[in-house]
Copies of this chain bind each other. A is one copy, B any other.
């Protein structure tokens, strides 16, 4: 795809300054611009780069006043940042606009599929599955029996969805993620027998899940990710967990069985949360922390393993770093007292 400065200016409702005939075919950072790419300048910190950039086209704010000559063609808009992110989105939509049902895929006869879906090669759709409109099922995806996939949802290559899973609208699930595997429950008192896991997973609308996550089905009932939940990569969610609306979990997060997490929480990387807890809305947890008790007050920030109030933790940790000198002070006091 190639676009002229003229076309881009039209799309963004901007004004051209310089050669209107240049053509671009990709997007770049201004400091990494190449001939044929379009960049943007919004942050004043980056202004130096516009004078040397090799990008053919740069989107700038209306009121930008260059102090040196600019060789790239400029397009002036109300907000360079918003205009550029609009371009990013359009680019992505074109790139990801796969359609058509491959003859090398497999759809069970009892499955029902909506309009305008994409089904890639070697993808599998099980019995009684319902696939909504505009759903994109990339190659090698597996959708187990009786599952439901809502409109406009995208399942990237190799996503594995066990039976009875319900996924809402406008969700994005990245490659390698497994949804609906069995909860980790055995009975050590009874010869380590497996406790059957016959619940399911429910994922509401607007959820995005990164690559290679694993989200277990409930023992009975449902493991639930509420509307707008966002997961990074390699996250583990155990059986019967519930994650509240718009909560973010960064890479390698772990939530153990039956824990309920509130809305709008933010967990940094490698956070672990013990089972059977309740975590209040707006909780923030710092990286590598371990939560071993329920958090009942909204908006707390916790740190450490086991975690407690982050400010207190940081203060204690400063002393921890100085423990050697603290012990030396103690030695001195003991010597003085003996004398």
Q: Which of A's residues lie within 8 Å of B, judged by CB?
A: 27-29, 32, 85, 88-89, 91-92, 95, 104, 106, 120-122, 124, 138-140, 142, 144-145, 156-158, 160, 162-163, 172, 174-178, 181-182, 184, 186, 188, 192, 194-198, 206, 208, 210-214, 216, 220-221, 228, 230, 232-234, 236, 238, 246, 248, 250-252, 254, 256, 269-270, 272, 274, 287-288, 290, 292, 305-306, 308, 312, 315-317, 319-324, 326-327, 329-330, 333-334, 336-337
A322 surroundings in chain B (CB, below 8 A):
316
Pairwise interchain contact A214-B221, C-beta atoms closer than 8 A: no
Complex: A51 Cα to B336 Cα, angstroms: 66
- Chain B neighbourhood of A198, CB < 8 A: 27, 88, 91-92, 95
Rounded to whole Å, the gap between the CB of A89 and the closest CB of chain B is 5
Distance in Å from the Cβ of A60 to the closest Cβ of chain B? 17
Nearest residue (CB) in B for A336 is: B337
Also in contact, A27 and B157, with CB within 8 A (given A198-B95, A211-B178, A234-B214): no
Contact flag A176-B212 (CB < 8 Å), given A233-B181, A320-B323: yes
A269 and B251 within 8 A (CB):
no
What is the interface of chain A mostly: helix, strand, loop, or mixed?
loop
B327 with A29: CB separation less than 8 A: no
Known: A104-B106, A162-B175, A175-B160. A210 touches B181 (CB 8 A): yes
Residues on B with C-beta less than 8 A from A288 are 272, 288, 290, 305
By a CB distance below 8 angstroms, the chain B residues around A329 are 330, 334
Q: Nearest 9 pairs between A and B by C-beta?
A: A214-B233, A211-B214, A319-B323, A88-B196, A160-B175, A178-B211, A142-B157, A181-B211, A236-B251
* Minimum Cβ distance to chain B for residue A141 (Å): 9
Q: Is the CB of B124 within 8 A of A140?
A: yes
CB pair B142–A139 under 8 Å, yes or no, is: yes
Q: Within the complex, what minimum Cβ distance (angstroms) separates A111 from chain B?
A: 13
Instruction: Verify A228–B192 contact, CB threshold 8 A.
Output: yes
The answer to whether B175 touches A178, judged by C-beta atoms less than 8 angstroms apart, is: yes
Question: Knowing that A172-B182, A192-B246, A252-B272 are A-B contacts, what are 14 other residue pairs whose CB atoms are under 8 Å apart, sorted by A's residue number?
Answer: A27-B198, A91-B198, A95-B145, A106-B121, A139-B142, A156-B160, A160-B175, A160-B211, A212-B213, A214-B233, A232-B238, A238-B251, A326-B327, A333-B333
